[in-house]
Amino acid sequence: MQVKQKLCRLQPKITLLMSLIVVGSMAYDAIETPFGKTDWIVGGAATYVAYAASNFVRPINQVSIVGYDFAKEEMDELKKRGVNLEGVEIVKDKKSFFWSGKYHMDMNTRDTLVTDLNVLGDFKPVVPDSYQGSEFLMLGNLAPAVQISVIRQMKQRPRLIAMDTMNFWMDIALPELKELLVMVDVLTVNDSEARQLSGEHSLVKAARAIMKMGPRFLIIKKGEHGALLFHEDQVFVAPALPLEEVFDPTGAGDTFAGGFIGHLAHTKDISFENMKTAVIVGSAMASFCVEKFGPTRLKEITRADIDARIRQFVDLVNFDIKLV
């Protein structure tokens, strides 16, 4: 018997439709890894999602908040990539959200050194009228109450709502998080977060428990060990590209989410089969993100680079077996 895996149909064009809303932080970060240090680089979950997704779908309807210090050049760079900033509030007398982290030698764990909420502390996102009718919604990691307020503003429920979250919200806002989980279709978390949320050590049991909380699709990210996609009784495993050097993992999860939702919004196909491809696209985008500090590498890559990287992923898991 021959078993052939066909993972990917490459999609060469960008879809130009008002179809994707991205909500999340836009920030400045200070990052230290075993390979270097930067005191001031643009970051934020929504920034990474937008850089990744804009390779597949435009415009990206961004909802965020920044302070007076957010550079015009960074805004222009995003606009050039089809990111619509009408939903990004600029607060004239406050600084942008600032986050600082230091990675350990294994690059899978990090210490958060500083979280200065600044403008993010008062973030009450407003979805502009022109964003209404968007079919896809990506909620980056934010307080669950803020994520809920965005869903409630949508006059028509998007076809697919995906969200990210983190252990912090499980610790301090579990009731709101559970209320939100019922409202979404896709949840992305890492393995330790999946275990915390479900109280199960086995990721298969954890997935089953989390899907009972609401999301029909669950993605569990495992850093350098790839990602798992769960839906009903099905599971798909995507590898991470074995890279010689991971320079800076900041934003890799958000970049994964951007590639994933960007591919879905481009193809408008939310079947489990197409989500498998979306997970590979997300993994490919994340593999670029970690190659340089912050979103630097995401700003450099071309569509040809992305296609070549996706092909590498397909080759990585493509095999023929003869069962005797």
Residue 245 · residue 201 · CB < 8 Å: no
CB of 202 to ligand AMP, least distance (A): 24
Shortest reach from residue 253's CB to ligand AMP, in Å: 3
- Report the nearest approach of ligand AMP to the CB of residue 244 (Å): 21
Contacts to ligand AMP by CB under 6 A: 25, 27, 29, 43-45, 99, 115, 141-142, 250-254
**Least distance CB 251 / ligand AMP (angstroms):** 5
Phi, psi of 282 (to 5 degrees): -60, -45
254: which residues sit within 8 A by CB, 6+ positions away?
24, 45, 46, 47, 48, 49, 52, 140, 141, 164
Q: Which residue is nearest to ligand AMP (CB)?
A: 43
**Residue 120 DSSP symbol:** G
Q: Judged by CB, which is closer to ligand AMP: 8, or 99?
A: 99
> 10 Å Cβ neighbour count for 216?
15
By beta-carbon proximity to ligand AMP, the closer residue of 110 and 205 is 110
Cβ proximity to ligand AMP, 116 vs 307, nearer residue: 116
Residue number with CB closer to ligand AMP (91 or 209): 91
Q: Which residues of 228-238 are buried (b: 16+ CB within 10 A; e: fewer)?
A: bbbbeeeebeb
Nearer to ligand AMP, 11 or 108 (CB): 108
Strand 27-33 to 97-103 pairing: parallel
Minimum Å gap between C-beta 13 and ligand AMP is 28
Identify the CA nearest to 63 among candidates 126, 132, 133, 152.
126
